[in-house]
Amino acid sequence: MDSENVLLITVDSLRADHVSFAGHDRPTTPFLSSLAEESAVFTDVVANAPNTPSSFPAILTSTHAQMHGGYDYLTAERPFLAEELRRAGYHTLGFHSNPHLGSDHNYDKGFDRFEDSAEGSQSVASLKDRVERRLDPDSRLYKLLRRVWHHLSMSTDTGAYAGAGTISEKAVEWIETEGSNSNFFMWLHYMDVHYPFTPDRDSLLELGMEPFSKSRIAELNARMQENPEELSESEVVDLLALYDGEIRYTDAQIRRVVEVLEANGLLEDTIVILTADHGEAFGEHGQFGHHPELYDELLKVPLLVYGPDVSPRRVSQQVSLIDLGPTIYDLVGIDTPSKVQGTSFAPLLAGEQIDEPVAVITAARDDRLACRSSEWKYFWRVDEDTTELYDLTSDPNETTDVSEQHPDVADSFREILEAHLERVEETKTDSPEVTESTEAKQRLKDLGYVD
């Protein structure tokens, strides 16, 4: 299969079980569901980490986070997808607004045009930061300020990220003016599904729900960030409704891009890949957000592949995000770089079979590791040297450790993870120290990454 263009769409924090083309009971993704009818849809897809900074090296460089100097700065030793495609003659573009994925972390490597856009008044955000640093985080005044900030951010232009409309507008403008001039690789990363959840009224109405008041939205987001253990069942239900509303809005913005490709005669020559960097927890295993644990609510993500000669099908075999790079190289006819990890799943798109690779999953700088197959999940907390094994067939919610009942399975996974740590040491290299800008630090705080 040879194709002119590649459109890689990633949606931050999008769980696999909340897209309607995977069976969610709300119509969160009407456009993507229609596209799925003409696509290969993968039903068992695993992120290689539970958060953005440690997941994206697998997506955009096909290497694990801690290899080649770690994920704080992506060193030149990694095989950058954009760089390889540019060498092959592609015009490369990246549009995003996640502060973890900026040029200071070297994510712009290989892109002819790379834009990290964030909406909002940084003067207001900086003022908030200066005030917060003078307050006790356990004080009532601090918590009151956080709630005021949630209200302010929804009523003024002070967002920590660019909305999906901004990302799509940049993509649409380029496609309409330059899309026919060259083969292109375009990466779009949408942040709206990430905390804080502040969907527009129309998206909630389209889901058949009454819109929430701004004060209710602000309060729910504040409680999820500050006191998640105190959330009631009804509040969790409401948070999930807000989350679904953000998915619905993002789906509409993705529609804009794909329809412009079609209107300009480019869709028939474009591979479209839709996935997410990780999921989101809503009380499973006692956690909210995307904490550094390795349960499936944080790892199971959607994957849809549309393109020339891709026949509609459902693929149940497990793949992981580190497999995206080698698959894209195969689909466009480029030799896969030797440092690429992962296994191409291009044969699965043609209805063929491949040996199912075991997914290696990392978090918290490799002090928490996991292996996952379609049948088993193995945890290793390295610093504590504690392990767990879950039978995903009979226990998909990962509640009962069966490592004592299946020591051979546990031992085989332990060997895979020990080999992974050896490869991390083999690829160890110095990398520049990254100093976040004041603006980036503020954006990270507002996205819930920093207390």
| CATH code, domain with 259 | 3.40.720.10
| Exposure string for 336-375, b = 16+ CB within 10 A, e = fewer | bbeebbbbbbbebbeeeeeeebbbbbbbbebebbbbbbee
User: Which string of DSSP letters, residue by residue, matches 14-52?
Assistant: --GGGSGGGT-SS---HHHHHHHTTSEEESSEE-SSSSH
Pair 112, 128 in one domain = no
Residue 435 CB contacts under 8 Å (≥ 6 apart), including other chains: 104
Pair 56, 112 in one domain = yes
- Residue 157: predicted pLDDT: 42
Pair 146, 185 in one domain = no
Residue 273 CB contacts under 8 Å (≥ 6 apart), including other chains: 6, 7, 8, 9, 303, 304, 305, 306, 324, 328
- Residue 442: predicted pLDDT: 56
Q: Is 394 a domain residue?
A: no
Pair 222, 140 in one domain = no
Q: Is 388 a domain residue?
A: no
How many Cα atoms occupy the beta-carbon half-sphere of 30 within 13 Å? Answer: 10
Pair 256, 112 in one domain = yes
Q: In degrees, to the nearest 5, what angle opens at C-alpha 188 toward C-alphas 224 and 52? A: 40
Pair 54, 179 in one domain = yes
List the one residue out of 24, 45, 3 whose CA is nearest residue 315. Answer: 45
- Residue 374: predicted pLDDT: 96
The answer to whether 332 and 58 have CB atoms below 8 angstroms apart is no
CA pair distance 130, 94, nearest whole angstrom = 32
Is-above-0.75 flag for pTM? yes
Pair 227, 194 in one domain = yes
Pair 148, 292 in one domain = no
- Residue 310: predicted pLDDT: 94
Instruction: Output phi, psi for 196, to 5 deg.
Output: -80, 150
Percentages helix, strand, coil for the chain (3-state, rounded to 5) are: 40, 15, 45
Residue ending a domain, among 358, 385, 408, is: 358
- Residue 435: predicted pLDDT: 62
Q: Is 33 a domain residue?
A: yes
Pair 74, 146 in one domain = no
Residue 332 lies in domain: 5-119+159-358
What's the number of domains the chain is made of? 2
Q: Is 330 a domain residue?
A: yes
- Residue 152: predicted pLDDT: 53
Pair 282, 149 in one domain = no
Pair 146, 283 in one domain = no
Per-residue pLDDT of the chain (451 residues; tens, 9 = 90+): 455 899 999 999 999 999 999 999 999 999 999 999 999 999 999 999 999 999 999 999 999 999 999 999 999 999 999 999 999 999 999 999 998 999 999 999 999 999 987 644 344 444 444 444 455 555 666 555 555 555 555 444 446 788 999 999 999 999 999 999 999 999 999 999 999 999 999 999 999 999 999 999 999 999 998 899 999 999 999 999 999 999 999 999 999 999 999 999 999 999 999 999 999 999 999 999 988 889 999 999 999 999 998 999 999 999 999 999 999 999 999 999 999 999 999 999 999 999 999 999 998 788 999 999 999 999 999 999 999 999 999 999 999 999 999 999 999 999 999 999 999 999 999 877 776 555 555 555 555 554 4
The answer to whether 47 and 320 have CB atoms below 8 angstroms apart is yes
Residue ending a domain, among 324, 342, 358, is: 358
Residue ending a domain, among 358, 379, 403, is: 358
